[in-house]
Structure 1
Amino acid sequence: MMDANVSDQRLRHQHQGLWLVAGIAGVLLLAAASIAIGAEDLSPGQAWDAVTAFDPADNRHLLVRHLRIPRALAALLVGAALGAAGVVMQALTRNPLADPGLLGVNAGAAAGIAIAIAFFGQAEAGAYVWFGLGGAALSGLAVYLLGGVRQGMNPVRVVLAGSALTVMFLALTHMVTINSEAEVFDQFRHWTVGSLEGRGFAALGAVALPIGAGLLIVAGLARRLDAVALGDDLARSLGSHPGRTWALAAFAVILLAGAATAAAGPITFLGLTAPHAARAIVGTAHRRLLPGAMLLSAGTMIVADMAGRMVARPGEVGVGIMIALIGGPFFIALVRGRRLGHS
């Protein structure tokens, strides 16, 4: 009987591993497809030539090199960051409805970017993304302190503190945009709907480092998150230190969600739904759940970005709107099909 259970467990792990390999291949194929698809479709050969035989006199090569490649990479980074941040937040708060926005980083990033546009005249994504990162970091730090770091982190206090800070930062954002010139409001509106348009290598470089650092941190916390998700008392009995895990994980979420939001705007549903879908495929162990959620989230970002470029040619629909249109029905189906607390 025991041998049969061990054999079943090994088979299940093999299947989960195959899902991850298939997910990596699928996301890379989607990223390649996104380089060829847009207001002006390119053949695979034309896109490949732009990479391997770049001709600066060819407008299509310039389009691929300077716009579509960094845009595809930005979609991968932002998607992976939001998926990982969602997994971490749900583990820390032990709340299946938690998402990265609970730490107030989305509202903090919005306030930072509104200030950058209104008071410093920063209209390019590569410039104002740093203000967004600063606002997200400030908000996350404030939530962490108000959540009672000295008294032991309590998920309820953290959620309440995050909600309070979100309201405050949103009020600040509204105050700045309403009392600014129409041009400022228009620029901020473009960011706030969620978009990857115009995200070149400058914006990509600004967010690559914090996202990379955040992903490395959560990768090292995978086993600790398994313990923390069981509760602080059980985590301590298993040799984990919940306070340290909270501090590192919260810092990682600030880096991941703050950088992703600063780069692409507030993307809803992705950090909430990707962890649930990943659990259904690869299980609850965080060493598999984290890469699973990252792949699903990155793939969804790329699909939504491509769909937004295809449905409104020659213009486009922002990726934030497309994610909401895709994620809303998906989450409703997920709620109806299974109990979230047991996903």
Structure 2
Amino acid sequence: MLAVLTLLAVAAVAGFCLIGLAGNWEYALGLRARKIATMIVVGTAVACSSVLFQTVTGNRVLTPGVMGFDQLFVLIQTLIVFLFGALALSSADPRLLFAGQVAAMVLFAGALYRRLFGHGGRDLYVLVLAGVVFGTLFGSLSSLASRLINPNDFVVLQDSLFASFNQVDPDLLALSALLVAAAAAWTARLAPRLDVVALGRDHALNLGVHHARVVNRVLVVVAVLVSVSTALVGPVTFLGLLVASLARQLTGTFRHGTVLPAAALLAVTVLVGGQLVLERMFTMDTALSVIINFVGGVYFIALLIRESRR
């Protein structure tokens, strides 16, 4: 199955590179290669973070999005436009903006983890519920601020809130790739322990795995992956849920050494293939995240219905 998924990902990348290629090939391939690299980095980050988060929470319908990362990103963008205007957002140094967004999201996650799931060892679901509450708070503040800004600035703000792979700074892409690669390598080394953690806290402790320590480290990695991918291109809400669930169904296993690469390959295939369809069939009339969120939302409802019947 991993070989099949690899072939699908390669086919999607090849199709994106070659279909409709005209004019200056070197220039066109350079632009497309940057888009592909961005989608690979974002797809890997979203897929790994979703699988890891579902493992530590023991829930197959939760994603890191419930912790409020997407809403915090929206709030940061909205406050910049509200306080300084749309020109400040469009003319800001992308590296400074990226660093500020990543730092804010990681600090928020770190404070939340330490307070609710640190040395006190509270229930993990308290942490998730706190994330939902903060996400609602951030969303409400963003909605309030967006109603007070200039209508022209609001149009610019709305464009910045949709995930876009078209204009990514090469330096930020390289930095994001290094961070995601380091997180993926660390996760690969931890895969056997994650298999044990997936059995539950009691089983993990009986088998000699320090459950709280592993979960704390995994949550930090999840925070970094989600923060990097969101700050780089914007939120892609349902992509992680979609690829994580499909990876488990297609591979027929819960071993992270297989599920993690399968989910990453599926994410790359969905992003690259979706962008290909978007550019060739819809001529960029809509954002890729809109299509992914629609398909992922339908799949999420189907998962809820299936889980309720068990």
Length-normalised TM-score, structure 1: 0.79
**Which of the residues 72, 87, 109 maps onto 2:73?**
109
Deviations 1:268-309 (A, max 9, x none): 211112111111122111111111111112211112222222
**Which of the residues 83, 90, 96 maps onto 2:54?**
90
Stretches of structure 2 lacking an aligned partner (at least 5 in a row): none
**In the superposition, relative to structure 1, how do residues 178 and 132 fare at CA in structure 2: closer, same or farther (>3 Å)?**
farther
Greater Cα shift, 137-146 or 278-287? 137-146
The separation in 2 between residues aligned to 1:307 and 1:229, in whole angstroms, is 36
Report the CA distance between 1:258 and its aligned residue. 1.2
**In the superposition, relative to structure 1, how do residues 335 and 180 fare at CA in structure 2: closer, same or farther (>3 Å)?**
closer
Deviations 1:228-258 (A, max 9, x none): 2222121111111111111210111111111
User: Is 1:42 matched up with 2:21?
Assistant: yes
Query: 1:221 aligns to what SS in structure 2?
Result: helix
User: Who is 1:30 aligned against?
Assistant: 12
User: Is 1:294 matched up with 2:264?
Assistant: yes
User: Is 1:130 matched up with 2:99?
Assistant: yes
Give the alignment's Cα RMSD to 1 decimal: 2.6
Aligned AA (2:62):
A
Stretches of structure 1 lacking an aligned partner (at least 5 in a row): 1-18, 47-57
Matches within 5 A, 1:55-94: 58=24, 60-65=25-30, 67-94=31-58
Query: 2:90 aligns to what SS in structure 1?
Result: coil
Matches within 5 A, 1:187-226: 187-226=156-195
**In the superposition, relative to structure 1, how do residues 63 and 23 fare at CA in structure 2: closer, same or farther (>3 Å)?**
same
The separation in 1 between residues aligned to 2:142 and 2:178, in whole angstroms, is 26
**In the superposition, relative to structure 1, how do residues 202 and 318 fare at CA in structure 2: closer, same or farther (>3 Å)?**
farther
* Structure of greater relative contact order (alpha carbons < 8 Å, 6+ residues apart): 2
Deviations 1:11-30 (A, max 9, x none): xxxxxxxx112222321221
**In the superposition, relative to structure 1, how do residues 264 and 117 fare at CA in structure 2: closer, same or farther (>3 Å)?**
same
User: Is residue 194–residue 264 contact of structure 1 (8 Å, CA) maintained in 2?
Assistant: yes
Aligned AA (1:286):
H
Aligned AA (2:164):
S
The separation in 2 between residues aligned to 1:329 and 1:255, in whole angstroms, is 28
Length, aligned pairs only: 304
Matches within 5 A, 1:1-343: 19-37=1-19, 41-42=20-21, 58=24, 60-65=25-30, 67-116=31-80, 121-123=88-90, 126-127=94-95, 128-282=97-251, 283-313=253-283, 315-333=284-302, 339=307
Identity %: 25
Point out the structure with max Rg over C-alpha: 1
**In the superposition, relative to structure 1, how do residues 139 and 171 fare at CA in structure 2: closer, same or farther (>3 Å)?**
farther
